[in-house]
Every structure is written in C-alpha cells, then in structure tokens.
Amino acid sequence: MHLKLGEIPAKAEHSTCLALGNFDGVHIGHQKLIQTARNIANQHSSSCSLMTFLPHPRKVVNGNDDYDTYITPWELKCKLLYELGVDLIYLVDFNEGFAQLSSDEFESMYLHEIQPRVIVVGDDFRYGRYGFGNSSTLLTNGLANNIGVEVVSSVLHNGVKVSSSFIRDALSSGHITTVTTLLNRPYQLKGKVVHGSKLGRTIGFPTANINLTGNFVLPKFGVYLVQVTLSNHTIVNGIMNIGVKPTVQQDNPHPIIEIHLLDFNQDIYDSMIEVDLIHYIREEMKFNHLQELSSQIRKDLFYATEYLAKHVYLNQ
C-alpha cells in the first residue's frame, strides 16, 4: 500500500476507484464502503484508493477536543485499510484553509485532479464549507465530469446508524460487546510496557504498565478482561485496570493502564504489546486499604476465569 501526503493530490498514475471519508474506527459501515470500492476496482482492473483527512474534521471545524483522540490512530488505521485491500491512501491536511473550501472547489482541486474512474461514498458523506456538498451533489457533478459515483447505504445496528460517534459513546459507557460488534473485531490499544510503582507486585498481583503509542480514545474507567498479544506474537489473557488509581493516588493524575497477565511471569519491560478489550468487568473503585483492593482483584480474577471457561474460543 502506498501513501501520498499533501494538500492537493496529483492525478492518479493508473485508473482508480476512490473511496472518500474520515474512516475513524474502520467500523462495519466503513468496511462495507471499502469492500464496495474494492469490488468496483476489480471489475474495472483498477486500483482501489482512498482519501481521508487529518486531523479530524470536527476538531478543526468545531474545536472539539474529544477529537484529539481516535478509535484507530493513524498507524492502526493504515494497517486495517491495507488488510481491506486499499492500494493507495491520499492523506489530506484538514486545516483551516481546507475547511473554507466550497464544495465546488473541493471537487475541482482534489477529485478532478485525481481523475478517478469511480468515486465511492457513504449516504451521509458531506464536503465543502458548511457541509453544503453531499452524496447527491457529488453524484450529479460526477456524472457531468464523466466520473462514476457509487453511494453506499449506512449499516444499522438495532435500528441505529453505525458511526464513529456511536462507537465513541459505547466505549465511554463500557459497552465493549457492542463495540466489538460495530468494529467486527475487539477494540485494541497498543503501547510499550514500562516500569510502574510495582504496588501490584507487593500485594501478589504484578502488573504491566502501558504507555500508549497512539492517541487512542480511552474506554470507560474500570476493569476489563483483555487478550494481550506480546512482541513474539504470543497471546495471553489478562485483566486490565484503566483509571486514576483512587485507592493509592489522590492527586487525580493522568489515566494509568495496568494489566495483570494470567499464568504469566516473564519479563516484558520495554516491549510493545497489543491489548484487545474483550469484556467489561466493573467500574473503578476506591478502597479503604490495600487488603480490600487485593480481595477485589481476586474476585475480578475469578470472574475472568469463569468468563473464559464459558467462552472457550477465547482460549484457542
């Protein structure tokens, strides 16, 4: 897969089918759209390309700091898009100047420059200043310029349109099963194992502290059953706590991610790991003393073990 950076892309070197969108999360709606683009590209013996935007448009247009974080930070997004069959990504700098382009200017400066054979968008796609451009205007103008346009209908989950906002809300509520369904995969964090206070070791439950390598959307604070992929590709089950450790820290620090790996005692400091969130166990709690904390961790481990026993596929 190739990546082209810059504000205004050049004409595609070969015939291409171009998918447009932000694609944060690469969720099942995005997957449907990209698969449609890939199928059309195959029919025309063309490449499958994709145009996306960074930073998040809502960060620039609305000044919403929530969009400093992503369901799929850039490295993970590229990996997922490659797996879906995207050959080329046009990454557009969504800055203040770009946000002021009219829909006609966006079409002429970006889409007509690339000259795709077919453009594929979702039925909710909007573009240009104030979002005046939509799938209908794109369809009309595309045909006038001999560019095919395919509009892909939204995917629904229990009657609700699947969207990145839907997934963000589910993550903030701890609805991990729903998130897994909407992504068609577990929600994943990635980071480096670093040294912590080693408090867990003193109470019998050593943990791996994680420094995230990307600006991930954080899930609801609490305890989760997770599956961890180590740097050697070994998969280990564990329980993860994400939060501010209210029992031992009172100064409201930045969120800390700690993972206790089940039946595991190897040294993995300074290594990179991937953490798949499998199940939400409970909220973060404040205990009166460390004995209460230790007792609750034992209950969490028992719950996790029982859950794994009932879901045998997680151990395969």
pLDDT tens across 47-95, in order?
999 999 999 988 898 888 888 999 999 999 999 999 999 999 999 999 9
3-state secondary structure the chain: CEEEECCCCCCCCCCEEEEECCCCCCCHHHHHHHHHHHHHHHHCCCEEEEEEEECCHHHHHHCCHHHHCECCCHHHHHHHHHHCCCCEEEEEECCHHHHCCCHHHHHHHHHHHHCCCEEEEECCCEECHHHCEEHHHHHHHHHHCCCEEEEECCCEECCEECCHHHHHHHHHHCCHHHHHHHHCCCEEEEEEEECCCCHHHHCCCCCEEEEECCCECCCCCEEEEEEEECCCCCEEEEEEEEECCCCCCCCCCCCEEEEEECCCCCCCCCCEEEEEEEEEEEECCCCCCHHHHHHHHHHHHHHHHHHHHHCHHHHC
99: left (phi over 0), alpha (psi -120 to 50) or beta: alpha
- What's the mean pLDDT in 303-308? 94
Q: Which two tokens stand for residue 37?
A: 């683009």
7 pLDDT above the threshold of 60: no
Condensed to tens digits (0 to 9), the pLDDT of residues 169-192 reads 999 999 999 999 999 999 999 999
Spatial separation of the C-alpha atoms in residues 264 and 113, rounded to whole Å: 55
235 pLDDT above the threshold of 60: yes
The single-letter code of the amino acid at 23 is F
Contacts of 305 (CB under 8 A, 6+ apart): 262
Q: pLDDT tier at 15 (50, 70, 90 boundaries)?
A: confident
CATH class for domain 2-161?
Answer: alpha beta
Condensed to tens digits (0 to 9), the pLDDT of residues 137-174 reads 999 998 778 999 999 999 999 999 999 999 999 999 99
Highest mean pLDDT among 25-34, 193-202, 236-245: 25-34
Q: Determine how β-strand 2-5 pairs with β-strand 88-93.
A: parallel
Q: pLDDT tier at 313 (50, 70, 90 boundaries)?
A: low
8 pLDDT above the threshold of 90: no
What's the whole-number average pLDDT of the chain? 91
pLDDT of residue 200: 63
pLDDT of residue 291: 87
Q: Which two tokens stand for residue 147?
A: 């560019």
- What's the CATH code, domain 187-315? 2.40.30.30
Q: pLDDT tier at 39 (50, 70, 90 boundaries)?
A: very high
240 pLDDT above the threshold of 70: yes
pLDDT of residue 195: 86
The single-letter code of the amino acid at 77 is K
Q: Model pTM?
A: 0.93
CATH 2.40.30.30, the chain: domain bounds: 187-315
pLDDT of residue 12: 65
pLDDT of residue 293: 85
pLDDT of residue 1: 66
Angle at which helix 28-43 crosses helix 176-183, to 10 degrees, equals 10
Spatial separation of the C-alpha atoms in residues 219 and 251, rounded to whole Å: 21
pLDDT of residue 45: 95
pLDDT of residue 113: 87
Q: pLDDT tier at 9 (50, 70, 90 boundaries)?
A: low
pLDDT of residue 245: 77
Cα 58 to Cα 44, 50, 126: the distances in Å are 35, 19, 12
109, burial (CB in 10 Å: exposed 0-12, middle 13-18, buried 19+) = middle
Task: Kindly state the percentage of the chain with pLDDT values over 70.
Answer: 91
pLDDT of residue 142: 87
Is residue 149 within 8 Å of residue 118, measured between CB atoms?
A: yes
201 pLDDT above the threshold of 60: yes
pLDDT of residue 186: 98
Q: Which residue has the tokens 């609305």?
A: 62
Task: Kindly state the percentage of the chain with pLDDT values over 90.
Answer: 74
256: left (phi over 0), alpha (psi -120 to 50) or beta: beta
